[in-house]
Amino acid sequence: MIVKGHKKCIKNFEATAEDAEDGDPKTCAAKMLPGLQAHLKTAEELGSASTAKTATGSATTTTAGVASTRTSNSEPDNTARNIRDRDAKTLTPLDQGNSKSDTETTAQIRKEILRLEDISVNAQNVKIITNDGHVTLRGPVNSTDEKRLIGEIAARIVTCEHTDNQLEVRSAEATN
């Protein structure tokens, strides 16, 4: 499922890099492609590794084709969130619209977010999903201020009525 998602994402970014008339989305898509292709390669390798380890009876567990071995002091993973988000109602980056308007809106919001100073890596990497002019913001941020700022950026670009701010503020304990 992860490999399939990465392949679909790469196909969309390749199309934008080739066909977009506006320079910003076209440039952004072209810059993102090498990273997406590297992620695809890693996902394919992890899928192969988890299949081999599971077949040999290893203690590795597999969730959605990704191997994970947890120890008591490891960081919590997003398995529960990923399982929750598999329903048909929850938008994921794969639901990003392919229209010029949708890709430009997403690129404009991302650009504005990256201009913010002193925000966390989590805030810089929030999911921005634009489909038919409606923007959904998803993912963790480190503070209510980050959630508010990012929501204000999206609302300024597409109006409040077309913005769904689903950003999740991580607890202070989780961000340390």
Cα angle vertex 16, ends 112, 32, to 5°?
A: 60
For the entire predicted model, the pTM comes to 0.51
Amino acid at 30: A
Amino acid at 67: A
Residue 47 has pLDDT above 90, yes or no: no
> Mean pLDDT, to the nearest integer, of 14-42?
84
pLDDT at 144: 94
Higher pLDDT, 131 or 52: 131
Q: Measured in whole angstroms, how far is the alpha carbon of residue 1 from the centre of its chain?
A: 15
Weakest mean pLDDT among 12-16, 66-70, 118-122, 142-146 = 66-70
pLDDT at 78: 55
Q: Is the dihedral of CA 19, 93, 95, 101 positive or negative?
A: negative
CATH number belonging to the domain at 91-176, selected among 3.40.50, 3.30.450, 3.30.1340, 2.60.120: 3.30.1340
Residue 83 has pLDDT above 60, yes or no: no
pLDDT at 140: 92
Residue 36 has pLDDT above 90, yes or no: no
- Tokens at 176, concatenated: 């340390």
**To which H or E segment does residue 51 belong?**
helix 23-55
From the CB of residue 148, how many other CB atoms can be counted at a distance below 10 Å? 14
- Specify the domain boundaries for CATH 3.30.1340 within the chain: 91-176
Residue 63 has pLDDT above 70, yes or no: no
CA distance 152 to 54: 46
